[in-house]
Amino acid sequence: MLIIELEDRGQDFTEWKCDENGIVVECSPFQGWLWEGVRVIGATDLSRGDVVDFVDKQGRLRTLNYRVARVTQPPVGRL
């Protein structure tokens, strides 16, 4: 799971959790109904300050208006 934290400019969502294919599987704190299911292009290559390109649910290539604040990938399994 990849966690993409977005700059906070007062929007209703600031975090996307993506699966191994870059698909948003969780959006918080709000608007999951809108963003869950979109595919982030190059999700594993994103870093602070990057713009986020994604494919929406209708198959259109789009660019998010908010830049990346941080990208993390929590460890898998037990530590």
Q: Where are the domains of the chain?
A: 2-72
Work out the pLDDT band at 75, boundaries 50, 70, 90: confident
| Residue that the structure tokens 């290559």 belong to | 45
Mean pLDDT score, 50-77: 94
Q: Is the pTM of this model over 0.85?
A: yes
Work out the pLDDT band at 71, boundaries 50, 70, 90: very high
Single out the residue of 59, 61, 57, 12 nearest to residue 37, CA to CA.
57
Residue 13 has pLDDT above 90, yes or no: yes
